[in-house]
């Protein structure tokens, strides 16, 4: 069984609550499924869950180079140099990243309101990037964007391994 779940902001990618943060247990997911990968508490979007250990390993293994696409609202205006650096790969403290597919895009038309809302500053512009990576390091997209001077204000995972978030509201799930 494979489940596509739209993880809301401030929800953990585990079933148990931890402190003031809620886990996945409150969303009526089938028993016996586990997250195939993680999505940070402050990130939103597609989280795949499965009861198949081999499938979970295949989705999460760095060797399979599973593509993951994100939409990132960043603070600032991306320069051509910043976008080129993200595309070429960034050297982070834990080593160089693989090249990424990156494009500046309009705000997604499927975007839902975030709770809490993103704080907007009148004097600082923001922009949206669509990034596809084939790694899954801890907070990788956030760290890559920060490295080129574009702090992430909102991060939404759109797709993993060919499965996309299409027509799933935050907190909703479906079998795929």
Tens of pLDDT, residue by residue over 116-155, are: 888 878 888 999 999 999 998 889 999 999 999 999 999 9
Q: Over the stretch 40-82, which tens digit does the pLDDT of each residue have?
A: 999 999 999 999 999 999 999 888 999 999 999 999 999 999 9
Q: Over the stretch 163-172, which tens digit does the pLDDT of each residue have?
A: 999 999 999 9
Q: Write down the pLDDT at residue 105.
A: 98
CB 59 within 8 A of CB 161: yes
Could you give the C-alpha distances from 70 to 51, 52, 82, in angstroms and in order?
A: 25, 25, 17
CATH T-level topology, domain 1-62+163-176: Alpha-Beta Plaits (3.30.70)
Q: How confident is the model at residue 86 (pLDDT cuts 50, 70, 90)?
A: very high
Specify the domain boundaries for CATH 3.30.70.1560 within the chain: 67-160
Catalytic residue among 17, 40, 42, 126: 40
Indicate the pTM of the whole model.
Answer: 0.95
Q: Write down the pLDDT at residue 124.
A: 87
Specify the domain boundaries for CATH 3.30.70.580 within the chain: 1-62+163-176
CATH T-level topology, domain 67-160: Alpha-Beta Plaits (3.30.70)
Q: How confident is the model at residue 95 (pLDDT cuts 50, 70, 90)?
A: very high
More confident: 136 or 8: 8
40 is catalytic: yes
Distance between CA 79 and CA 85 in Å, rounded?
A: 10
């Amino acid at each position: 069984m494979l489940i596509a779940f739209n993880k809301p902001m401030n929800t953990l990618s585990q079933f148990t609550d931890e402190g003031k943060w809620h886990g996945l247990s409150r969303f009526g997911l089938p028993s016996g499924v586990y997250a195939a990968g993680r999505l940070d508490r402050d990130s939103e979007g597609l989280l795949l869950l499965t009861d198949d250990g081999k499938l979970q390993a295949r989705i999460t293994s760095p060797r399979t180079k599973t593509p993951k696409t994100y939409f990132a609202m960043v603070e600032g205006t991306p320069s051509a140099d910043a976008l080129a650096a993200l595309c070429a790969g960034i050297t982070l403290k834990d080593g160089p990243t693989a090249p990424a597919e990156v494009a500046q895009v309009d705000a997604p038309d499927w975007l839902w309101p975030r709770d809490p809302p993103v704080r907007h500053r009148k004097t600082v512009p923001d922009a949206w990037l669509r990034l596809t990576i084939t790694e899954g390091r801890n907070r990788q997209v956030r760290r890559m964007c920060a490295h080129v001077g574009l702090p992430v204000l909102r991060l939404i995972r759109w797709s993993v391994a060919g499965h996309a978030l299409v027509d799933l509201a935050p907190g909703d799930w479906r079998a795929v």
